[in-house]
Amino acid sequence: MPLFDKKDKSRYATFSRRAVGLGGAMTAVFAVLAGRLYQLQIRDGDQYMVEAEDNRVSERLIAPPRGRILDRFGVELANSRRNYRVLLVSEQATEGVAQALDQIGKVILLSDQQKKKVMHDIAMNRKFVPVPVVENLTWEEFSRVNLHLPYLPGVQPDVGESRDYPFGAELVHILGYVASVSEQELQQSDDPLMSLPGMRIGKRGIEKQFDKDIRGRAGASRVEVNAYGRIIRELGKDPGEIGEDVYLTIDRQVQQLADQKLDGESAAMVVMDVNNGDILALSSTPGFDPNWFNVGLSGAQWQGLTADDHKPLLNKVTSGIYPPGSTFKTAVALAAVEAGIATPSYRVNCPGVFVFGGHEFHCWRPHGHGTLDLEGGIKNSCDVFFYQTAHRVGIDAIEQAARKLGLGKVTGIELPGEHSGLVPSREWKQKTYKQPWQQGDTLSVGIGQGYVTVTPLQLVQQAARLASGKQVVPRLVHSVGGKAVPRPEAAKLDFSDEALTRVRSGMNKVMNEGGGSAFNWRITEPGFEMAGKTGTAQVRVYSEGQHGGPITKNSALEWKLRDHALFIGFAPVIDPKYAIVSIIEHGATPAHPHVQMARDVMLFCQQRDPAKLPPAYPVSQAADAAPLGPKFAKAGE
């Protein structure tokens, strides 16, 4: 009997085919798995190892401290301080961001505006990025947050760096301030620092002009995180590079005195070295505390700044536009001498009025000044003298003289937003008004009224050029990152020595000869005498009855209708070193406060020991000058 019958053989064959098929399928599966394992572990192993490491290790940007801004003696005008703050990681806020903010608000005060900003910042960033909730906390507030930390999921107390301006409003129009990055600025920049939550950048002044230098290079912190993004430990840290230090030409104590003198006024004052253009003081009042913008400006603070008629947000030195008034007569005088009109024998009789084209042009002194030469015209600031002289010289020569003194164009100082003012010409009026130039226009320009406008910075440049005979230009920055900012040597001013000497002589008589328009406010200390030129700029048209000196006193008018008071000067008279300009908006009074202020500041500036200023400036080693003593604090009062 056979061992297997035919039926059994058929079953065996069927089983064998199924086993082979199953084995083949399993072999194929294992082949695919083996191939995939080969791909993951051998061919692409390095790539996946890097990706796994990236999931385990997170790199976070660190904003380095901004560089300092210092005065010429090394006094820190802007620096960094500790910033106690609270951050929130939205993905770690287990009960939601809104609930987390409510919990934080029970520990420290949070306004609705702050909460709204946090919600906006979280929406703009990835969920694992810490977003600042509140900054610049006191130590007590910061300690309270740390005490309640177990009940505040997602909250991270942090000690960072914050910009600090130790002298507050005193230097705000020079330094500017820092504030948060706007969405537009973020889109326009390729610097990764700009996207860092809580990042601050320069918005005005030196902070803005040299922002990239002061900002520094971003650092990075490498931390190990778990699957939920929580930090386990720090693996390494690159602090980045601190920003560059910027040394200014400012003397902080001269600046302090200028601010003290202008306190309460809508005014401007600038002190400048006549030989190299260094700005020792640049004061625009009122100012505001730049720390407000860094910490966060309240609605009431912003309303107060924008509604103030003294315009604290405006840098009046670079952006304030004023008629120069009688300070412009120095430019007319130079043009007259250069044109050969104002010779030593040239005289003009002032009866108090000059009649031209059927119109009366009055002098500020109703009964006139009598017969005057050029120096006498400057000394007495006689309007009739300069009406007649401007008429004879003509607008073309006056325009050229004004432009040589630096008027009608920006000076190029290292501050954003400088205005150019205006020196009018025949072409300008035809282009602007489609009208020809009139002789009456020349007469108005001859006393610094009409179309001509200037900035205080241009006026101090004008005074410095008159004093030095050089085409000196103002500058505010001496060095950046320890490297001196180069500047060309100032060329000789394109005026004859005779013209400059005669104008300086007239300015000397203004201050130091009896009858001069500023004689009562002269510097009496020997060797410190100052030359100058006063000016009054009208802001309204006088009525017919007010010609020759308004019947209504300036001080009796509404503040915004009063005339501006201007003064330019240089000192000492022999071998000048410093120039000054002082402007008080709507401040023209018989007491000449603008001249008194300039006198006090100029005297103090000269009495400063020049040996305290090394030739190359103290970039690495610097000491503060002696504190402002009582000898100077009340100077001239």
Q: Which of 326, 425, 444, 582 is catalytic?
A: 326
Name the packing angle between helices 395-404 and 439-446 (round to 10°). 30
Strand 267-273, strand 279-285: pairing = antiparallel
Closest CA to 256 of 271, 266, 245, 275: 271
Q: Is 530 exposed, middle or buried (0-12, 13-18, 19+ CB in 10 A)?
A: buried
DSSP secondary structure letters along 479-540: EETTEEPP-PPPPBPSS-HHHHHHHHHHHHHHHHSTT-TTGGG---STT---EEEEEEE-SS
CA separation for the pair 319, 264 (Å, rounded): 20
In this structure, the number of other CB atoms found within 10 A of the CB of residue 235 comes to 13
Alpha carbon distances (Å) from 31 to 37, 250, 356: 10, 79, 110
In this structure, the number of other CB atoms found within 10 A of the CB of residue 27 comes to 10
Angle at Cα 439 formed by Cα 434 and Cα 445, nearest 5°? 90
Residue 233 has, within 13 A of its CA and on its CB side, a CA count of 1
- What phi and psi values does residue 58 have, to the nearest 5 degrees? -115, 135
DSSP secondary structure letters along 80-133: EEEEEEEEE-GGG-TT-HHHHHHHHHTTS---HHHHHHHHHHHHHS-TTS-EEE
DSSP secondary structure letters along 123-172: HHS-TTS-EEEE-S--HHHHHHHHHTGGGSTTEEEEEEEEEE-TTGGGGH
Closest CA to 181 of 192, 170, 173, 171: 192
Closest CA to 75 of 487, 609, 612: 612
Tell me, yes or no, if 326 is annotated catalytic: yes
Closest CA to 232 of 63, 52, 91, 57: 57
- What DSSP designation does 298 have? -
Please answer whether residues 587 and 548 qualify as being in contact, where contact means their C-beta atoms are separated by less than 8 angstroms. Answer: no
- What DSSP designation does 469 have? S
Please answer whether residues 135 and 157 qualify as being in contact, where contact means their C-beta atoms are separated by less than 8 angstroms. Answer: no
Would you please indicate which residues are annotated as catalytic (active-site) residues?
A: 326
